[in-house]
């Protein structure tokens, strides 16, 4: 069986339902990956995470490189042992964190010199180092080192970043030394159709196990993002998974699936959960509001997550207001379950060939 098998497609859009096979199990797509930045999804045990419906999770090479260090992860039995997660894991390359956390980073064609955001230590990272670290961490899917640009970005800088991303991807493929891992590249180019097309074409020539779209969700707006996604996915191999990095809201996900995306990751479910913000089918709830002081109903009536089957809105509001850590834990569990239920619904609609109409109706609710 191929490692990515398309099982059904939507007759009215580019959406598809598929099965991704990895060394640690199969993943039904479209899929959402909870983010475990430093080797843990904040406030959630692996058992709780599995109960939300998560199939695959993401860890961050940049943060693991700084703490505890790749050598320590190896001594502890590898990334799966460190995280206590037996299913598939994807690691990013660290390229985005160099962009977002190190404003004084010095980027050149060979690689990047930057200061640790923890202690200021000077660190050098390049395509070969990023690939070697991910090979050693042992994730099922690893990412090529790339250069992400801010939004907006001047075209000369964008062209330089795209060319570096292509060159670094070629170097990552040459350096990749763990046959048990799949290597995904990253298509950059901001919202410039010409740059996206050029980057995609050059990366397809090299050939990768999967293709990610980076540099989006940075302020360009929903419509610009989806237009860019739609334009780019049409240029990528149909038989390879497509991953939209760092995105996003439920509306972003539904629209991106419609544009041909198979995989997502985002910190929103847990970050918002830690800030008393809950996702529901009828919209968002802010649990600190006085309206919930004596509310006896759950966050989402009918939701089967641990939070909704055991606690009221009023109780959760109380936990947040008195600083009890149970509040953020419960809302994170609910939000992660909400996202996984959204993905399960998307897959079910695709299998039944009912996705297009359902997606139109859902997006009308959000807009």
Residue extents of the structural domains in the chain: 35-266, 277-367
Choice among 10, 92, 146, 262 that is catalytic: 92
Give the class (CATH, top level) of 35-266. Answer: alpha beta
Please state the rounded mean pLDDT for residues 207-233.
97
Please state the rounded mean pLDDT for residues 194-223.
97
Beta bridge partners of 278: 285
92 is annotated as an active-site residue? yes
Q: What pLDDT does 1 receive? A: 40
Please state the rounded mean pLDDT for residues 317-334.
98
90 φ, ψ (degrees, to nearest 5):
-115, 135
Q: 74, 68 in Cβ contact below 8 A?
A: no
Of 244, 206, 254, the closest CA to residue 358 belongs to 254
Q: What's the pLDDT band for 2 if we cut at 50, 70, 90? A: low
Choice among 227, 262, 265, 360 that is catalytic: 265
Please state the rounded mean pLDDT for residues 81-109.
90
pLDDT digits 0-9 by tens, 341-367: 999 999 999 999 999 999 999 999 876
265 is annotated as an active-site residue? yes
- Can you tell me the distance from the alpha carbon of 227 to that of 43, in angstroms, rounded to the nearest whole number? 35
- Can you tell me the distance from the alpha carbon of 173 to that of 210, in angstroms, rounded to the nearest whole number? 12
Q: What pLDDT does 367 receive? A: 61
pLDDT digits 0-9 by tens, 48-91: 999 999 999 999 999 999 999 999 999 999 999 999 999 999 99
Of 341, 336, 340, 291, the closest CA to residue 316 belongs to 291
Beta bridge partners of 142: 91, 183
pLDDT digits 0-9 by tens, 16-60: 999 999 999 999 999 999 999 999 999 999 999 999 999 999 999
Cβ-based burial of 294 (10 A; exposed 0-12, middle 13-18, buried ≥19): exposed
H or E element, residue 187: strand 182-187
Six token digits for residue 192: 């410039």
Q: What pLDDT does 77 receive? A: 98
Q: 299, 280 in Cβ contact below 8 A?
A: yes
Q: What pLDDT does 275 receive? A: 98
pLDDT digits 0-9 by tens, 170-180: 999 999 999 99
- Can you tell me the distance from the alpha carbon of 151 to that of 148, in angstroms, rounded to the nearest whole number? 10
Q: Over the chain, what is the mean pLDDT?
A: 96
Six token digits for residue 70: 């790749």
Please state the rounded mean pLDDT for residues 84-100.
92
Residue reference for tokens 């390359």: 93
3-class SS string, 307-325 = HHHHCCHHHHHHHHHCCCC
């Amino acid at each position: 069986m191929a490692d990515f098998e398309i099982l059904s497609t939507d007759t009215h859009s580019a959406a598809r339902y598929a099965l991704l096979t990895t060394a640690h199990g199969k993943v039904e797509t479209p899929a959402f990956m909870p983010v475990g930045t430093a080797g843990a999804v904040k406030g959630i045990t692996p058992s709780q995470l599995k109960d939300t419906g998560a199939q695959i999770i993401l860890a961050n090479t940049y943060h693991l490189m700084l703490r505890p260090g790749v050598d320590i992860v190896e001594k502890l039995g590898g990334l799966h042992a460190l995280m206590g997660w037996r299913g598939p894991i994807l690691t990013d390359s660290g390229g985005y964190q160099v962009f977002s956390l190190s404003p004084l980073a010095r980027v050149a064609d060979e690689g990047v010199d930057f200061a640790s955001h923890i202690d200021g230590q000077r660190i050098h990272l390049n395509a070969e180092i990023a690939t070697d670290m991910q090979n050693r961490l042992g994730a099922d899917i690893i990412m090529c080192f790339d250069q992400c640009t801010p939004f907006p970005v001047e075209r000369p800088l964008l062209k330089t970043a795209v060319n570096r991303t292509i060159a670094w991807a070629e170097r990552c493929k040459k350096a990749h030394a763990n046959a048990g891992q799949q290597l995904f590249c990253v298509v950059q180019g901001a919202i410039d159709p010409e740059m996206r097309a050029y980057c995609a074409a050059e990366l397809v020539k090299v050939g990768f196990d999967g293709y990610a779209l980076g540099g989006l969700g940075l302020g360009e707006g929903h419509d610009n993002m989806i237009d860019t996604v739609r334009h780019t996915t049409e240029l990528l191999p149909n038989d390879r998974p497509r991953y939209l990095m760092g995105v996003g809201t439920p509306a972003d996900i539904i629209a991106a699936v419609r544009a041909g995306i198979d995989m997502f990751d985002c910190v929103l479910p847990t970050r918002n959960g830690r800030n008393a913000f809950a996702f529901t089918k009828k919209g968002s709830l802010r649990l600190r509001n006085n309206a919930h002081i004596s509310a006896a109903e759950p966050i989402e009536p009918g939701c089967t997550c641990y939070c909704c089957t055991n606690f009221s809105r009023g109780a959760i509001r109380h936990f947040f207001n008195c600083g009890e850590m149970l509040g953020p834990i419960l809302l994170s569990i609910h939000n992660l379950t909400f996202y996984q239920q959204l993905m399960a619904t998307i897959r079910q609609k695709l299998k039944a060939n009912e996705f297009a109409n359902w997606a139109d109706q859902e997006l009308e609710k959000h807009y």
